[in-house]
Amino acid sequence: MMNICMFTNTYLPHVGGVARSVNIFARDLRKMGNNVLIIAPVYPGCEKYDNDDGNVLRVPAIQHFSGGDFSMRIPVPFYVDEKIDEFNPDIIHSHHPYLLGDAALRAAKRRLLPLVFTHHTLYEQYTHYVTKDSENMQRFASILSTKYANLCDRVLAPSKSIADLIRQRGVHTKIIELPTGVDLDFFSRGDGNAFRKNNQIPESVFVIGHLGRLAPEKNLNFLARAVARAMTHLPEACFLVAGDGPSKQDIQEIFLRNHLDRRLILTGNLIGKMLADAYHAMDLFVFASHSETQGMVLTEAMASETPVIALDAPGVREVVEDGINGLLLPGDCFEGNFARALTDAVTNPEKISKWRGSTLKTARTFSRDVCAEKLYQVYESAISETGASPMVSRKDMGPWDSFLISLQTEWELITQKAKTVVQTVRKKNE
Same domain, 193 and 162: no
Q: What is the residue-averaged pLDDT of the chain?
A: 86
Same domain, 97 and 151: yes
How many domains does one find in the chain? 2
Same domain, 133 and 87: yes
Same domain, 65 and 205: no
Chain segment 232-259, per-residue pLDDT in tens: 999 999 999 999 999 999 999 999 999 9
The rounded distance, in Å, linking the Cα atoms of 366 and 190 is 18
**Could you tell me what percent of the chain has a pLDDT over 90?**
64
Chain segment 263-289, per-residue pLDDT in tens: 999 999 998 899 999 999 999 999 999
Same domain, 345 and 410: no
Instruction: Report the predicted TM-score, pTM, of the whole model to 2 decimal places.
Output: 0.79
Same domain, 140 and 99: yes
* pLDDT score of 66: 45
- Domain termination site, one of 364, 390, 415: 364
- Domain termination site, one of 364, 379, 409: 364
Angle ∠(40,46,47) on CA atoms, nearest 5: 115
The answer to whether the Cα torsion of 80, 107, 180, 321 is positive or negative is positive
Domain CATH code at residue 259: 3.40.50.2000
Please state the length of the chain: 430
Q: What are phi and psi of 267, to 5 degrees?
A: -95, -15
Same domain, 36 and 76: yes
Same domain, 226 and 170: no
Chain segment 325-381, per-residue pLDDT in tens: 999 999 999 999 999 999 999 999 999 999 999 999 999 999 999 999 999 999 999
Same domain, 220 and 312: yes
108-135 mean pLDDT:
74
Same domain, 26 and 110: yes
Q: Are strands 308-311 and 326-329 parallel, antiparallel or unpaired?
A: parallel
Same domain, 355 and 396: no
**Which residue, among 164, 120, 166, has the nearest Cα to 142 in the 3D structure?**
166
Cα dist from 414 to 333, 407, 409, 419, whole Å: 42, 11, 9, 9
**Which residue, among 85, 65, 64, 70, has the nearest Cα to 8 in the 3D structure?**
70
Range of the domain at 376: 3-181+368-429
**Could you tell me what percent of the chain has a pLDDT over 70?**
81
**Can the peptide bond before residue 13 be classed as cis, meaning omega within 30 degrees of 0?**
yes
Same domain, 297 and 171: no
